[in-house]
Structure formats: structure tokens, C-alpha cells
Amino acid sequence: MTSKSRVLVTGAASGIGAALTRRLLKDGARVLATDLRLQAVAMHEPLGAQLCALDVTNPRAWESAYALADRAWGGLDILCNVAGYLKPGYAHEADLSEIDRHIDVNLKGVMLGTCIAARRMVSQGSGHIVNIGSLASLAPVAGLNFYSASKFGVRGFSLSVALELKAHNVAVSVVLPDAVDTPMLTLQASYEQAALTFSGSAPLTVDDVVKLIVERVLVDRPIEVAIPPMRGLLARIATMAPGLASGLDPLLRKKGRAKQEALLSGSATRDKRDKL
């Protein structure tokens, strides 16, 4: 990435997407900040970002976003597919409409953005597509079945397309973070089904993930990188030995549930203090 790189970021309203947009703008990149609601990304406009409402599940919306980049800068160098969705739940209790929501946003959105970007980047002879997966792309997570399935798909799709586009000087990287301290993580604290999310050490910060993307992924253009590396290795072992993962599940779930209860207790204490 150069200081004048032209970058489109999805999910730029909060979490990793918002932090990544801020860092790219600070580093001098030209950024098209997108989210489902235009007003949600307005905070980036004073920093110099171009803004665009983007429903990642709609191919016409993607084409419109690229048309805006064409008018502003003559195209794009980098696409960062960050937008995501998660709602915990067990399969036997699930609202079946959640299947569509997870697959449409997490997988279909990435596939659409990648394919539309790939056409243009192949034509211009260069480019870099960065897709955000998860450690749930490597190992199944009970209680997050739909999310895990969608993120497995993101990883498989990204690795496949990376092989196709290499000959055209277009890189595809998939980033696989552990739990990150974002609104998505906060939402999970109140769901017993999401206990495994909290079974590791302290969650990553958005700055941890952004630093990895900007200082390593956009520089070295690796096909795949997990953060933190040791949790990534454990996730790979778990998916190779599902019987082992099944045996560890009760212990990890108990550990995660204790952390959830501590988080919820801390939130309740803060709320009570704020009302005094």
C-alpha cells in the first residue's frame, strides 16, 4: 500500500471497519467508507473520506460504489471486506431466517465484492482484496453455527480465488482474528450459547487487527493470517481432530461462561453507579 492508495472499506461505521478507515486516512490513503446507512459513516467525512451507502448483499449497490470510486479517483487499488453479522443460537432453537442473514451478509457480501473487484483489478493488472474471516473460519464453534458456517465459506472462497488471481497480479488475503472487542463481542456476552467466544485470553482490540492489516497484510500480501498465532494453531488442530474439540468443549464452555458472567456483572455495577 502507498500513501495514495485507493481503498474501499465495508462495515466502516463501527468496530474493525471504523478503526481501519481512520488508520488508512491517517496514513494518507484515499478511502471510500461504506456501510448500509450513509449517516453511519458520516464521522469519516471530516477526515477526508468519500462516503457511500452500501448494502453488501446487493450487486447493483456494489456496482454503484465502484462507479463512485471511478468518478473520484479513476478506480480502486484495495478492497477490504469487513462488514459482518452475528447472532448466537443453537440449531435446534434457531430462527431459520437467521440462516439467510448470516450467509447473505458474511458470505454472499464478500463473494459479491470480491468478484466485482476482481474483474476491475484484473483489467487494470493489479490490486489487493482483503477479506475478514475469523478463527471460526478454522474451527467450528458450537452456539455460533450460522456464523461459523458463513466464515468457513469466506475462508474457502478467499483461498480459492487467491489461486486464480495470482497470475493477474491481484492478491487475495483472508484475515482470521480471534474475538475482538467490538459491539459484536459485547452483544455476545448476554448469550449463554456464545460461551466459547469468551474461552480464550483477553479479546483483541480493533487496533490489534488494524495494525496487522496495515503493517503486514497490505505490505506482504499473505494469502492467510490468523491472530493471535497460537489461538490460530489451536483452531487448526481442533478442526483436524473434532473428537478432541468435543472433549474439551465442556471445559472451555465453563471457562467462557464465567467470563461472560464477570462482564455482565461489571456492566451491571457500572449502570448502577451511573444512576446514583
* Cβ contact 93:87 at 8 Å: no
Q: pTM of the prediction? A: 0.91
Nearest CA to 214 among 93, 130, 114, 274? 130
The fold for domain 6-275 equals: Rossmann fold (3.40.50)
Domain ranges of the chain: 6-275
Q: H or E stretch including 203? A: none
User: Quick check: is 147 catalytic?
Assistant: yes
Annotated active-site residue in 66, 85, 147, 191 = 147
d(CA 247, CA 41): 44
Those residues whose C-beta lies under 8 Å from the C-beta of residue 111, and which sit 6 or more positions away, are 157
pLDDT in tens, the chain (276 residues): 666 899 999 999 999 999 999 999 999 999 999 999 999 999 999 999 999 999 999 999 999 999 999 999 999 999 999 999 999 999 999 999 999 999 999 999 999 999 999 999 999 999 999 999 999 999 988 899 999 999 999 999 999 999 999 999 999 999 999 999 999 998 899 888 999 888 887 899 999 999 999 999 999 999 999 999 998 998 898 888 777 667 777 888 888 889 888 888 875 444 443 444
